[in-house]
Structure 1
Amino acid sequence: MSKEIITTFKTIRKHTETICKPLQIEDYSIQVVQFASPAKWHLAHTTWFFETFILKNYAQNYVEFDANFNFLFNSYYNNVGTRILQTNRGNMSRPATDKIYEYRAYVDAKMMEFLSDVSDAEIIDLVTLGLNHEQQHQELLMTDIKYMLGHNPIFPVYDADFNLIKDTNSNADSIKIKAGIYKIGYQGNDFCYDIELGVHQVYVDDFEINNHLVTNGEYLEFMESGAYSDFNLWLDDGWSWVNKNDIKSPLYWYKIEGEWHYYSLSGLQKVDKNAILSHINYYEANAFAEWKGMRLPTEFEWEIASQQLNWGKRWEWTNSAFLPYPNFEKANGAVGEYNGKFMSNKMVLRGASVATSQNHSRPTYRNFFNPSESWQFTGIRLVK
């Protein structure tokens, strides 16, 4: 087991740094909005996780890299101590980026020593949680980089060959699911998050779900119909969001000389009408479904149909609030803060996206975000 976990550890830790390679040094510290953290912070926080929850607790004679880092790079774990406000993550010009890479190298070396002689199943499980945590941050890192560059007035190119929003649907059919009682929840033996556990039965009525996602062209028709000014299509919260923020198009869309363009990590380009829609929030997804005379699937319908669906290109909004499954239990201490305390004012997304790390998706995975958020690679699948 030690050899396998060491190999996985090295691979995942290296990938986080690979994501940062196209960045210039000035890019590492930028935080242009509260929810999008600087690249430097992601590099440090994912390292802090291993130092705080594993090395400090289990490695003999471990010497902390820097006593200030617990305050600087703790995210939301109240059990671990005080931390800076999330809005201040971009204020840290110091510690410098090279110091953060030193921190990663130091912790990685200590983890290699520790993992070479560990066999305790509970510790291995905690390391596995840390690796899955880092993979979550790899996707957040990618989307935060896009938000940073996508709000730069000159729309800098991250990588000319790295366009994550050009993919198209491979079919145009739909799938009919019979009414019945179905099992929901993770039933395997590999890693999953606590919020996927608690296998239980749900009843669903007959439904028909599209085996394709909404395209840019379809959404453009919605926009051109005057949808962003038609209150009849919107939930009340959504209509308030539209008006408060003067929303007229999806995130990263810009009308230039009468033609729609959008920002991708490979630069600003004309909207491809055949490509799958991306960066849409729950309010927009729900309004589009209303406009089409259809609806969003519940997370249970999505999971039941998932074996027959082509999924994985976009995180797909469901019509389900993020709530606990039956028999859900939070772990004691800081690890128990990982998911359970966020079960308020959030909607569930299912699937994965083009930015999701390899081997970090499964049909039972429950992602969750505020209904106004669209900086992830989110899309729309419809049901009738």
Structure 2
Amino acid sequence: MKVAPAPLHPNEALELFARTRARTEALAAPLCPEDTMLQSMEDASPVKWHLAHTTWFFEEFILKPRLPDYRSPDDRFAFLFNSYYTQAGPRHARDRRGLVSRPEGQAVAGYRAHVEESLSDLLDSHRDDSDEIAELVELGCHHEMQHQELLVTDLLHGLSFNPLLPAYKDPEPLPVTSEVALAFTRHAGGLVEIGHAGGGFAYDCEGPRHKVWLDPFEIADRPVTNRDWIAFMEDGGYADPRHWLMEGHATATREGWDRPLYWWQQDDEWWTYTLRGPQPVALDAPVVHVSYYEADAFARWAGGRLPTEAEHEVAFRDRPIAGNLMGDAGAIGALRPLPGPGIWGDVWEWTASDFAPYPGFRPPEGALGEYNGKFMVNQRVLRGGSCATPAPQMRTTYRTFFYPHQRWQMFGLRLARDAA
């Protein structure tokens, strides 16, 4: 939900809606029907489900409450395409989404078109309460942007099991680069404020703005690279329990982790599977697809630590939001980390912070209150966005969250350390 909302004009809401929906369609356009049905694990969902669920969100939370005569193309879609909103009714099992071969893709496309037309009509006919509707449309668009990132990362995981290692986007060589030296910037700390202060969109979990005490710290000017990670691997970092949290080492041992997800060695060279198909590992690009456990172990091995989310926000909140992020339809972007000293984009950066409520946080009433609050346990905060995060979604206060064992998202890390 929003914090201190600044409602969009209805025309602005429609423009945001059109751009957002067009980006989703552009992401799905290169896929064949069989691609859209892939579900490789419970954490991931098929592309067809993402297309339908993001549509259901607008229908369930905007159209149905405000249009008494609204009729869905199929009332069963509410059961099939709800995700976790228990107050919105029963839902299909998450781990069986890939078994829903029907409705077919054409029916889902018709569902999207029906909801888009109905939403446009609603904004035209409800000018008296259009600010509230526009606010919900904005939330729905940001919700769909989150699913755009999930769409491509879930797809990558699904395609990775195909022995043909197909390319979602045309292969493209990385630019030739040279190693960027690791440097740290010192920050004085003290009593600082973090969190969203209003004046634009934010999720409810980004506020309230509040004070935090920070001791002096240093934070790296670039993320950890593949070159750095290979040094960790070659030094036996995965096998040495001294660097690991006990639960992390047990997970790594059980899962057989000895490299980032999607890596393999071929003719003494490291390769990785990407949305552009098999690629040699770019040594100076940020390492990606590593869990919190691996990131924490690397930081200990390197003589540092992971930053807290407050340190990350304070260090970079004055940096303009620009970098390797997902663009609009027609300019989707690289969809892979690129070499360079970027701050925003490329990889989400694990922090040492639990995903917990800020002081004074209260989830909204109703089903929309389930958006973030119910997940505030046993997860870690990541900051900074990734190459698969839509650029309009990024803010310096944006906090995403995942479980510490998960790897399939665009996860990387940046080092921090205490300042003398």
Deviation of the 1:38 alpha carbon: 0.2
Q: Provide the rounded CA distance (Å) in 2 between the counterparts of 1:281 and 1:287.
A: 10
- Which of 267, 282, 285 aligns to 1:272? It is 282
- Which of 104, 117, 122 aligns to 1:114? It is 122
Q: Provide the rounded CA distance (Å) in 2 between the counterparts of 1:361 and 1:166.
A: 28
Q: Provide the rounded CA distance (Å) in 2 between the counterparts of 1:143 and 1:35.
A: 11
Matched, 1:159 2:185: no
Q: Would you say the 8 A contact 1:162–1:265 is kept in 2? A: no
Aligned partner of 2:137 in structure 1 is: 127
What amino acid maps onto 1:212 in structure 2? R
- Where in structure 1 are there 5+ consecutive unaligned residues? none
Please give the residue correspondences for 1:265-304 in structure 2 after superposition, counting only pairs within 5 Å: 265-304=275-314
- Which of 206, 210, 225 aligns to 2:216? It is 206
- Which of 78, 82, 85 aligns to 1:70? It is 78
What amino acid maps onto 2:354 in structure 1? A
Q: Provide the rounded CA distance (Å) in 1 between the counterparts of 2:154 and 2:102.
A: 20
Aligned partner of 2:154 in structure 1 is: 144
Q: Provide the rounded CA distance (Å) in 2 between the counterparts of 1:165 and 1:33.
A: 33
What amino acid maps onto 1:343 in structure 2? M
240 and 341 in structure 1: CA distance in 2 versus 1, 3 angstrom threshold: same
- Where in structure 2 are there 5+ consecutive unaligned residues? 1-8, 320-342
Aligned partner of 2:412 in structure 1 is: 379
Deviation of the 1:102 alpha carbon: 0.8
Matched, 1:81 2:89: yes
Deviation of the 1:279 alpha carbon: 1.1
Q: Normalization by structure 1: what TM-score?
A: 0.96
Q: Provide the rounded CA distance (Å) in 2 between the counterparts of 1:133 and 1:76.
A: 13
Aligned partner of 2:63 in structure 1 is: 55
User: Deviations for 1:118-145, whole angstroms, at most 9, x for unmatched residues?
Assistant: 3422222111111110000001101111
User: Deviations for 1:255-289, whole angstroms, at most 9, x for unmatched residues?
Assistant: 22432110111110211111111111100100000
Deviation of the 1:337 alpha carbon: 0.3
Q: Provide the rounded CA distance (Å) in 2 between the counterparts of 1:23 and 1:168.
A: 35
Q: Provide the rounded CA distance (Å) in 2 between the counterparts of 1:314 and 1:167.
A: 18
What amino acid maps onto 2:67 in structure 1? A
Deviation of the 1:188 alpha carbon: 2.9
Q: Normalization by structure 2: what TM-score?
A: 0.88
Q: How many residues align?
A: 384
Q: Provide the rounded CA distance (Å) in 2 between the counterparts of 1:282 and 1:96.
A: 37
What amino acid maps onto 2:355 in structure 1? F
19 and 353 in structure 1: CA distance in 2 versus 1, 3 angstrom threshold: same
What amino acid maps onto 2:12 in structure 1? E
3-state SS of paired residue (2:133): helix
Please give the residue correspondences for 1:166-315 in structure 2 after superposition, counting only pairs within 5 Å: 172-307=182-317, 310-315=343-348
Matched, 1:358 2:366: no
Q: Would you say the 8 A contact 1:350–1:367 is kept in 2? A: yes
3-state SS of paired residue (1:228): coil
Aligned partner of 1:21 in structure 2 is: 29
Q: Provide the rounded CA distance (Å) in 1 between the counterparts of 2:176 and 2:111.
A: 36
Q: Would you say the 8 A contact 2:312–2:383 is kept in 1? A: yes
Q: Would you say the 8 A contact 2:64–2:70 is kept in 1? A: yes
Which one is further off, 161-170 or 351-360? 161-170
Q: Provide the rounded CA distance (Å) in 1 between the counterparts of 2:173 and 2:44.
A: 20
What amino acid maps onto 1:275 in structure 2? A
Deviation of the 1:164 alpha carbon: 9.5
Aligned partner of 1:41 in structure 2 is: 49
What amino acid maps onto 1:282 in structure 2? Y
- Which of 327, 333, 338 aligns to 2:371? It is 338
3-state SS of paired residue (2:288): coil
3-state SS of paired residue (1:15): helix
Which one is further off, 202-211 or 252-261? 252-261
Looking at secondary structure, tell me which structure has more helix per residue: 1
What amino acid maps onto 2:261 in structure 1? L
Q: Provide the rounded CA distance (Å) in 1 between the counterparts of 2:269 and 2:203.
A: 43
Aligned partner of 1:321 in structure 2 is: 354
Q: Provide the rounded CA distance (Å) in 1 between the counterparts of 2:178 and 2:104.
A: 41
